[in-house]
């Protein structure tokens, strides 16, 4: 800074600078722990975002398959209506019985194929919904793990400022909880 400017320090700046420049093992271990926690937290956060995006992709896939199944069922209904009209025509015009009987059989066959396709699409929609739900559960685990790591980082900062060993133990405990939650996320539990 130039000589004609001045800088006002906050009440905690001196303590933070002293703790950061101190050569004691306590400050150094807290600083290293904080750096490790920040790195681990970044990984957990990335995994949480990834699983959330994957869940949304599966949810979109489910909606697309459900819409396609609905279209097939509408097509199935249209074929049923045509089959009903052919059956009515068969009773009203016996002279064309052979033609209308062929139409009835054709519509029955087309409906069977359409029904199979619609059922496959509905099954695909259900499967994609289940995948989405599983991914969201995993996302929640990653989010919980990330939150625990963030709390541990905050505890580390408070530990550094107050130099309380019991807070350091608390930081390790909360970090451990975050680790357990991450393992649960990895195991899909």
Q: Where are the beta strands (DSSP E) in the chain?
A: none
Instruction: Give residue 88's pLDDT.
Output: 92
Confidence category of residue 15, pLDDT binned at 50, 70, 90: low
pLDDT digits (tens, 9 = 90+) for 54-108: 999 999 999 999 999 999 999 999 999 999 999 999 999 989 989 999 999 999 9
Instruction: Give residue 24's pLDDT.
Output: 76
CA distance 115 to 99: 24
Do 145 and 179 form a contact (C-beta atoms < 8 A)? yes
From the list 80, 166, 70, the residue with the least C-alpha distance to 118 is 70
Domain spans, the chain: 26-186
Q: Which two tokens stand for residue 105?
A: 């059989």
Instruction: Give residue 27's pLDDT.
Output: 87
Task: Show the CA angle centred on residue 98, arms to residues 78 and 113, nearest 5°.
Answer: 35
Do 79 and 104 form a contact (C-beta atoms < 8 A)? no
Sign of CA dihedral 126, 130, 135, 141: positive
pLDDT digits (tens, 9 = 90+) for 121-166: 999 999 999 999 999 999 999 999 999 999 999 999 999 999 898 9
From the list 16, 10, 14, the residue with the least C-alpha distance to 157 is 16
Instruction: Give residue 17's pLDDT.
Output: 64
* pTM reported for the whole predicted model: 0.72
């Amino acid at each position: 800074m130039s000589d004609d400017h001045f800088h006002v320090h906050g009440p905690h700046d001196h303590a933070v600078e002293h703790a950061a420049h101190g050569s004691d093992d306590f400050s150094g271990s807290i600083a290293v722990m904080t750096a490790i926690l920040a790195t681990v937290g970044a990984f957990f956060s990335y995994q949480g975002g990834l699983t959330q995006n994957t869940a949304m992709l599966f949810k979109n896939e489910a909606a697309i398959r459900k819409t396609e199944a609905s279209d097939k069922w509408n097509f199935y209904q249209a074929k049923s209506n045509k089959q009903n009209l052919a059956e009515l025509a068969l009773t009203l015009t016996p002279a064309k019985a052979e033609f209308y009987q062929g139409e009835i059989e054709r519509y029955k066959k087309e409906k069977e194929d359409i029904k199979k396709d619609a059922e496959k699409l509905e099954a695909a929609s259900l499967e994609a919904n289940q995948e989405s739900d599983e991914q969201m559960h995993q996302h929640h685990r990653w989010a919980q793990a990330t939150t625990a790591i963030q709390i541990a980082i905050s505890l580390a900062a408070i530990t550094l400022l107050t130099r309380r060993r019991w807070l350091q133990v608390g930081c390790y405990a909360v970090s451990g909880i975050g680790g357990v939650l991450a393992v649960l996320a990895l195991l899909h539990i």
